[in-house]
Structure 1
Amino acid sequence: MASEREYFDLSGPLHLTSVDWDDANNRMTVAASLVQGVYILERDRQERREGPNALAPPWWDFFNFKLLRPLIDDVDSSIFGAIYEFKPQSSQSNDLLHRRIPRYVIAFRGTITKTDSVSRDIELDMHIVRNGLHQTSRAEIAIQAVRNMVASANDSNIWLSGHSLGSAMAMLCGKTMAKTGKLLESFLFNPPYVAAPIERIKDKKLKHGIRFAGSVITAGLTIAMKVKQPRNLTFDSFAALSSWVPCLFVNPSDHICSEYVGYFEHRRRMQEIGAGGIERLASQNSLTGLLMSASGNESSEPLHLIPSANLTLNVTPSRDFKEAHGIHQWWQPDLHLESKFYKY
């Protein structure tokens, strides 16, 4: 049975009758709605809702997008992503000349806790924790879809968008393309940050002390690992990503993504106190990943660590974790948002 939030007419951003593509909040609303379209596509599949009974199409039709094709997981046949094309009405045909409007949007959903998809989604969530999402077949399908679209789009504007698990997938695709010089505008809602929940500590001095100690240890281990091993390209690849500035949408009450607040603010504070060199080493490595490498386990650069970002916080009070982590918050008309730009 469909929930109220699956119906666009009941819970969608009906207030946005005309999109101002120069407005950051409008772009955020469109990107979040297209992610919701992927969620509902999969729910339509699970509930066998087809034709006039399908609930997903209004989530993209409302903004004049067309579904080009869904992205299908090869393990459980679930729909985990979608490629959309902007199709303005004839009276709006000149809109495509606007540099802010995406010609294509590739969106990824997060975990769905329903029988048909939950086991595969949770398996992928565990891969995020172990920093192994890039080794999964779903990630291979996603990255190849993005590569193909970039190759065939003839420099058209392409967006990436995702929520939670889907945000991690969009992050992986965005980083992969950025390393080839293709900087895709990216909207990452509640992106997972794999770390201890330091941001939940109320005492600011204690919190800074813990972060400072963690930076010193991480930087020291990074130097030690580089001495023992041939020079790798971790720093170079991290610096190469600095021109890619994804938009991160974080709720401070959501412990899955809230560490991004401390990650960027701590880096700024370390620069202010003259410890920028330590933090530059620490901010590109995770302590867990370094310890795994030291013990002989294969490791790769942490997915959640990025050099630059446009970080938007939803500081509207949340009733519970489910609300703080949900995609629905990002198209509400009465949000209290705070945005900061961080450049590496």
Structure 2
Amino acid sequence: MKRENEDEYEAKLSTWKFGISGPVHLSYVDWRLPDHKRSGFASLVQGVYILERDRQKKRAGSKALAPPWWSFFHFQCIKVLVDPIDFSIFGAIFEYKPQTAYYHQGNPSRYIVVFRGTIIEPETRKRDVYLDMQLPLNGVTHDSRYQIAFQEIHDIVINIGPRNVSLVGHSLGASIALQAGKDLAKRGCHIESYLFNPPYTSPPIEKLNDHYLKGKVRVAKSFVTASLYHAIKGNKDNYMRQQHDDQFAWLCSWIPNLFVNPKDPVCCEYIGQFEHRERMKQLGLYKVDHIASKNSLMSVFGREGDPPHLIPSALLTKNMIFMEQSYKEAHSIEQWWQPHSYWHSKLYIYGE
């Protein structure tokens, strides 16, 4: 039994070592290339996951496994973000410090704020799962983890400007980054964001097997939501309507990068959300969908903790690799640095 446990631990260690499981297909990094950028930011997320695992296993100095996940891409970890309840590392701030030879190959933002997702280990399970359960209840913004994250992001933006900052996250961490990006966008501050497997906190219609039924459900939902628009609109005074219109316009012009897997029930509904809008245009029902989408967003404006999945625009990238995948594989961060040609990206801009 002891030998089996040792073998299992060694197998886990190999998945955490950059030189074995990382994007070893990259011999150099050109930040102008989407594949390199996706691989780099996914690796930073993995670095944060392993930072917490290093902490749990008390690995430090030369024994730490996390640093190669960011040093290969010429980043330095300048600050870790610690949860005040379970003292776990849930995020980190990285500063880009390339060698002179790399300047001609394009640059990412100077500072990257990165958030990990859930770790099912005894030290983190209770706290992380609690926050996962808060997502559908829109309660994450009231939590100390989000408040710490937002304050760090806000301080960097105030000091050096939004163009020098990017947000990156996976799963639960993507929800934190997405909500922070939304909160800033509604104030007219747009931050580049890369969000891997962000949870969609409403039932995944996209998982219905009947294509005809799926379309009918989406169209019916749009009509019902649109029908509520005038009632909600009539209950707001002119000042509130103007304020919400301004926030909505600012939010529409913010375009986060979403990375989703159609086989992942956690995030696949983003695909349905944006593709449904395209179908409504083709059916000549764009006005209905426009009113429905605007009502869904504006009905929660003015309330704290609005659902992070309610976003009007995005650059959506799907992992369309043709192979059977388990839920764990479809939701993993590892898939996003894998070298293959089955990426499909499409830009969705609200109102166009």
**TM above 0.5:** yes
Which residue matches 2:87?
77
Alignment partner of 1:122 is 2:129:
yes
Secondary structure in structure 2 of the residue aligned to 1:312:
strand
Provide TM-score, normalisation by structure 2: 0.89
Which residue matches 2:3?
none
Counterparts in 2 of 1:88 and 1:122: CA distance versus 1, 3 Å: same
Counterparts in 2 of 1:318 and 1:36: CA distance versus 1, 3 Å: farther
CA distance in 2: counterparts of 1:234 and 1:63, whole angstroms: 40
8 Å CA contact 2:162, 2:190 repeated in 1: no
Which residue matches 2:168?
161
Counterparts in 2 of 1:48 and 1:285: CA distance versus 1, 3 Å: farther
Q: How many residues align?
A: 334
- Between 17-26 and 253-262, report the one with greater CA deviation: 17-26
CA distance in 2: counterparts of 1:154 and 1:17, whole angstroms: 32
1:139-170 alpha-carbon deviations (Å, 9 max, x no partner): 11111111111122256522110000000011
1:42-81 correspondence to structure 2 within 5 Å: 42-81=52-91
CA distance in 1: counterparts of 2:246 and 2:193, whole angstroms: 22
8 Å CA contact 2:43, 2:70 repeated in 1: yes
1:111-190 correspondence to structure 2 within 5 Å: 111-154=118-161, 157-190=164-197
8 Å CA contact 2:170, 2:198 repeated in 1: yes
Residue segments in structure 2 that go unaligned for 5+ positions in a row: 1-8
Structure 1 counterpart of 2:16, one-letter code: E
Counterparts in 2 of 1:61 and 1:237: CA distance versus 1, 3 Å: same
1:211 to 207, 215, 218: 218
CA RMSD in angstroms, aligned pairs only: 2.1
Structure 1 counterpart of 2:231, one-letter code: A
CA distance in 2: counterparts of 1:147 and 1:337, whole angstroms: 33
1:21-78 alpha-carbon deviations (Å, 9 max, x no partner): 1111111111100011110001111111111111100100111110010111111111
1:107-157 alpha-carbon deviations (Å, 9 max, x no partner): 100000011111111111111111121111111111111111112225652
Which residue matches 1:37?
47
8 Å CA contact 1:95, 1:101 repeated in 2: no
Counterparts in 2 of 1:252 and 1:155: CA distance versus 1, 3 Å: closer
Counterparts in 2 of 1:95 and 1:159: CA distance versus 1, 3 Å: farther
- Between 193-202 and 245-254, report the one with greater CA deviation: 193-202
Identity of matched residues, %: 47
Task: Using the TM superposition, give the Cα deviation of residue 228 of structure 1 relative to its aligned residue in structure 2, in angstroms.
Answer: 3.8
Alignment partner of 1:305 is 2:315:
no
1:11-30 correspondence to structure 2 within 5 Å: 11-30=21-40
Secondary structure in structure 2 of the residue aligned to 1:115:
coil
Alignment partner of 1:324 is 2:330:
yes
1:255-312 alpha-carbon deviations (Å, 9 max, x no partner): 000000110011122123232222123224559x97xx9xxxx775321111110000
8 Å CA contact 1:106, 1:161 repeated in 2: yes
8 Å CA contact 1:186, 1:247 repeated in 2: yes
Counterparts in 2 of 1:302 and 1:237: CA distance versus 1, 3 Å: farther
CA distance in 2: counterparts of 1:310 and 1:154, whole angstroms: 22
Secondary structure in structure 2 of the residue aligned to 1:88:
coil
CA distance in 2: counterparts of 1:238 and 1:80, whole angstroms: 30
1:67-121 alpha-carbon deviations (Å, 9 max, x no partner): 01011111111111100011112433x459x4x4221111100000011111111
CA distance in 2: counterparts of 1:193 and 1:16, whole angstroms: 32
Secondary structure in structure 2 of the residue aligned to 1:129:
coil
1:105 to 112, 116, 136: 112
Counterparts in 2 of 1:300 and 1:113: CA distance versus 1, 3 Å: closer
